[in-house]
Structure 1
Amino acid sequence: MDQKSDKKRVKKSKSKKAEAEEHEEQLKRLQETQADFYEYMKEHDKELLKFGAADFEDDADVEADTDLEDTEKEDVVETPKLEIAKKGTEQKTITSAMVDSWCKLIREDAKLGGVRSILRAYRTACHYGDDTGDDQSTKFSVMSSAVFNKIMIFVLSEMDGILRKLLRFDETEGMGDVINTRPWKNYNHLVKSYLGNSLHVLNQMTDTAMISFTLRRLKHSSDFLSAFPSLRRKYIKVALHFWGTGGGALPIVSLLFLRNLCLSLGSDTVDDCVKGMYKAYVLNCQFVNAVKLQHISFLGNCVIELLGTDISASYQHAFVFIRQLAMILREALNTKTKEAFRKVYQWKFIHCLELWTGAVCEYNSQSGLRPVAYPLAQIISGVARLVPTARYIPLRLRCVSMLNRIAASTGTFIPVSMLLVDMLDMKELNRPPTGGVGKGVDLRTLLKVSKQSVKTRAFQEACVYSVVEELVEHLTQWSYSVAFFELSFIPTIRLRSFSKSTKAERFRKEMKQLISQIEANSEFVNKKRASINFLPNDIAAASFLKDEKEARKSPLSQYAEIIRLRAKKRNESLVESDVIVGENSAVFGKNAPSSDEEDDEDKNEKGAAAFSSSWLPGSDAKEKESEEEKTKKKKRKRGRKSQTEKKQDEEGDAGEDDVVEDFVLSSDEEEEEDDLFDIGGDKDEEEDDEAADEITDPEPKKNSKKTKGTYKTWHKAYKKTKKKKPRVA
């Protein structure tokens, strides 16, 4: 029966070939006999005249040469030249010789049968170890890591170019034109098989180097995903997961993959990517320490980079997300409850403001994100004034820094000087420190400081010097303005008042130096202003002191360089030797990065290092950890917990610096729920400070008798559990 069907198929292909040749002869005769009609067809319907018997012949030859089964069966092709080793009576093993033969057929002979065979072997490799059910009679298996390595390297490195040749893909054309062609109808199932199996193996991989190599190779095939919307959404989801949780170079590779998708596939993909990245960014910003700040900054830069792929679509998202922040702030201003304040005074909210500040500064043109600069500045100003207490000076300084960045990038005046000089009038900065010298306070890593830190000399110095730095940045931006004398008049008076009231000689000296620089700059501007004859609102005012601004000749510009250098040295001195800001900042998983120097532009990368291990998807990757590894991990966790407990006992104010705790005592939670948050009432200053404490998350207070007993009871129980070692069956 098989021989008869083969003969019928060959005879049918020959008859079709003869019909094609006859039709080609008819077109030639038409050109000779009816030249006018032929020219008309050539102008209006050129595709009908492109018929050729050679194209039909190729398809017939492919159909005859590749004696393949239906592609939906997803089985490896049995070719007469290849010897297939059988394992028992059920499963067949793919050998290294078979893979070499398929690669030779593709590279030297350009046979379609080799392409289909290697793709089926690739599917088997990607699904190795999966639960395939009871029917194993037609399944093949990859028995060695060497064969798995060879299949993965070849397919990921070569398949994109092979598929583009089969589809006759022209780089100047879009996928919309390719989808309507005949090669796409014939071979689109091969593209879908390649992309679908690659997605499956990405979900199974755990090694960072293997995932990075796979994403690098798949980035070149991102054009094909426009034809498969469901696969495109799944790829975006997987890449976002790797971007937010991967280690080493994987976040950068994932970002490049997503960026390439956005550039290739248009606004629909941009919408999905921006929403997903913004959500992942917010989730990563919930808890912050010195090390994670660099990581969060990296994620924010990634989001800003992706926004630049489509500014018009990004503006819509920026408008919606900034409006959400405004609604949260409005609720806090209207209700004035501790829950509403807590939604604003948290790292998540502040980092969202910093993200959109960076985006506005990056794309500040009229056609970019400049229109959202005004509402964003209004929100930041409202957040800075929400709770005017000394413990939230770090948060206010962050807000002022954001406003200074927006003003510098957009060239718009934002009155931030009052936000700064108001901090100098707080009683905590004008009275002698009662808490001693204290430990150095890094205001960059805090939103709120503890009660003990507020009373220290280190906190006073950090606040005063930070206020001077931000005020210098603000005034330097307008040190060449024709109205500098007017806008610096009130801040100068307030600085003189603080200089007279403070009892610290170092602060008085700092203020006098700043005042002298402001007065020198005012004199510098007034000399130039005396010789002009235009009004401040004239267009000519924009060119006032233009040459001096380019040369940075104003006294404040030169003083700002000194202040920036001093701030840099002070920040470096605050970094402890055992906690380096930015060290391993890209580590999100459990494994440390092996190398960050992988080059994405190397398209000829072989990837031998990526797949050279004995890992096979579905088998070794899913094995349980050994008993020794589990014990080591538990010991490390216990060590970290014990160090945290010691630090809390020494400071005497657990969780004041936004430390996230694993346990929250129910008694403390109930006590804080009973307290009321009230600002601007008839309470004295100490009660106002207690009310401001309620904004942060509920924390165990060791000073209260009830909580202290409960804490000791829990601590004793915890020590007992540490002595018991888990038994592993």
Structure 2
Amino acid sequence: MDKIAWHLIPPILVFDGIIRLCFKSVGKCLFKLLHPIDGKKGRPSKRRGPKKRESTHFKHWHKYGALTKSYLSAVQIFLMEVDSVQVLLSTLRVVTDLVDLFLHFPKLCKSLIKVLTHFWSRKTEEIRCIAFVALCKIARLDSECFPTVYKNCYTAYVANCKTVDEETLPFIHFMQCSLAELTFVHPSQAYQYAFVYIRQFAIHLRNAMIAKRKDLIQTVYNWQFVKGLQLWVLVICEGSKRFRPSSDKSANWFFELVHPLVEVINSLWRLFPSTKFFPLRIHSIQMLLDIQRESEVFVPSLAFAVELLDELAQIDAKRPTAGKGRTREPNIERMLRLSGEQLDDAGVRAHLAQRLFALITDCLNLLNSREGAAAAPIVAPITVKLKRFLKVCANPEHVRLFSQLKGLFSQSAQNGGEKAN
């Protein structure tokens, strides 16, 4: 047995190979049997609503339509049951090729969207990519399926944002980019859902502002709320790059949502004045800066960023706990709320100060490049706040760090005066 053991092939490898071989051929054979013809020769569609691409017509559909439905149902069941990653990848590629056939069966297509959304939000990176390609193809070929795809993907995205750590952050970023790209497949339809979702954020925030209850504050001070806002900021920024104000109403909606989104973000970071939520304020002002940079609207992001210096001074008022200095590597991208232990850690404080310094510098550079001579009167009152912080700050390292801003502010005011003259 030992001499011939190397000839034996594990059954699972045989099964996987047979399945992949079948998938390479069965789909092509099915299309040959159905015999696609020019869609213009078919009966014109009388449907109302969003403009839909003409479905592919098949010469032998009446003969092989039932067989096609049975095959697609079997493929979908197999897709939900398979465990092997390689076989799953092969199956997803086949499903992507068969999307045109799935669209002829609305119930099958709807259940397929749920399965693909599950893979897009919970599997490995390669599986996520192929599943998203299939979802995009469904949304692109049939505009009536776009709302189902869009809502399912958004719900899955929010569900995956409950926790943010080193492992989940890359996948969340991938889902953000995917949803932003999906938005531009049918921008006019996406506007309706973007408006509703941003309005929901505003309602939750309003309830928290009125009641000031801990449970209501927790509904907005969490990763799902912040990542949801970051998604719409990304959508608006990408839309501003691709579309500029024009006569095309389907493209202008990106600019119509800038004001409500800015108001929601601005109210969010002011809701609960606690130093423990310093990272959340950094995230909020970074979102405002991104909107200001890409959509070419003025947002006082520099003034907002400088306001955080007062909170940094409050944190530095208490000396860090001895023996807990730079022993950690904090990352504000994975931080939303600081614990008491983190507030007492000198390494965390240094990271927060460096992050705030970089944010203020970015805001100032954008203001100088965008406003020119008008930047001088904006910078003048902010310089007063900076000098006040340098006097009261108890951390000498932070004083040395932010003292560099005095020169940048002075140079900005001087350049603005020269341009005005």
What TM-score, normalized by structure 2, do the two folds share?
0.85
- CA-CA distance at 1:282 after TM superposition: 1.2
SS in 1 for 2:337: coil
Q: Which amino acid aligns with 2:97?
A: H
Q: How does 1:321-336 map to 2 (within 5 A)?
A: 321-336=197-212
- CA-CA distance at 1:210 after TM superposition: 0.8
Aligned to 2:295: 410
Aligned to 2:262: 377
Confirm or deny that 1:428 pairs with 2:314: yes
Aligned to 2:405: 514
**2:17 and 2:169 mapped to 1: Cα distance?**
41
Consecutive unaligned residues of structure 2, counting only runs of 5 or more, are 1-10, 46-53, 246-250
Q: Which amino acid aligns with 1:447?
A: L
- CA-CA distance at 1:462 after TM superposition: 2.5
**Cα offsets for 1:167-212 (capped at 9, x unmatched):** 3324775996667665222222232122111111112211121111
Aligned to 2:48: none
Contact 1:178–1:184 (CA<8 Å) still a contact in 2? no
SS in 2 for 1:414: coil
Contact 2:306–2:382 (CA<8 Å) still a contact in 1? yes
Count residues in correspondence: 386
**1:508 and 1:147 mapped to 2: Cα distance?**
68
Q: Which amino acid aligns with 1:525?
A: G
Confirm or deny that 1:453 pairs with 2:342: yes
SS in 1 for 2:397: helix
Aligned to 1:350: 226
CA RMSD after TM alignment: 2.4
Q: Which amino acid aligns with 1:445?
A: R
Per mean C-alpha deviation after superposition, the further-off stretch among 304-313 and 323-332 is: 304-313
Aligned to 2:93: 216
Structure 1 residues 248 and 414: CA distance shift in structure 2, 3 A: closer
**1:184 and 1:319 mapped to 2: Cα distance?**
41
Confirm or deny that 1:500 pairs with 2:376: no
Return the index of the structure with the highest Cα Rg: 1
**Cα offsets for 1:192-243 (capped at 9, x unmatched):** 1221111111122111211111111221121112210011011111111111
The partner residue of 1:477 within 342, 366, 378 is 366
What TM-score, normalized by structure 1, do the two folds share?
0.50
Structure 1 residues 244 and 173: CA distance shift in structure 2, 3 A: farther
Q: How does 1:136-535 map to 2 (within 5 A)?
A: 152-170=19-37, 182-266=59-143, 268-364=144-240, 365=243, 366=245, 367=251, 368-426=253-311, 427-431=313-317, 433-436=319-322, 437-438=324-325, 439-440=327-328, 441-480=330-369, 481=371, 482-530=373-421
Higher helix fraction: Structure 1 or Structure 2? 2
Q: Which amino acid aligns with 2:61?
A: W
**1:478 and 1:223 mapped to 2: Cα distance?**
50
SS in 2 for 1:249: helix
Q: Which amino acid aligns with 1:234?
A: S
**Cα offsets for 1:294-335 (capped at 9, x unmatched):** 221122222222222111111111111111111100000011
Q: Which amino acid aligns with 1:312?
A: S
**1:146 and 1:379 mapped to 2: Cα distance?**
54
Structure 1 residues 231 and 485: CA distance shift in structure 2, 3 A: same
> Between the two proteins, what is the percent identity of the paired residues?
25
SS in 2 for 1:206: coil
Consecutive unaligned residues of structure 1, counting only runs of 5 or more, are 1-143, 531-729
**2:306 and 2:196 mapped to 1: Cα distance?**
33
**1:307 and 1:178 mapped to 2: Cα distance?**
22
**1:415 and 1:174 mapped to 2: Cα distance?**
58
**1:358 and 1:248 mapped to 2: Cα distance?**
21
Contact 1:394–1:446 (CA<8 Å) still a contact in 2? yes
**1:196 and 1:285 mapped to 2: Cα distance?**
32
Per mean C-alpha deviation after superposition, the further-off stretch among 399-408 and 421-430 is: 421-430
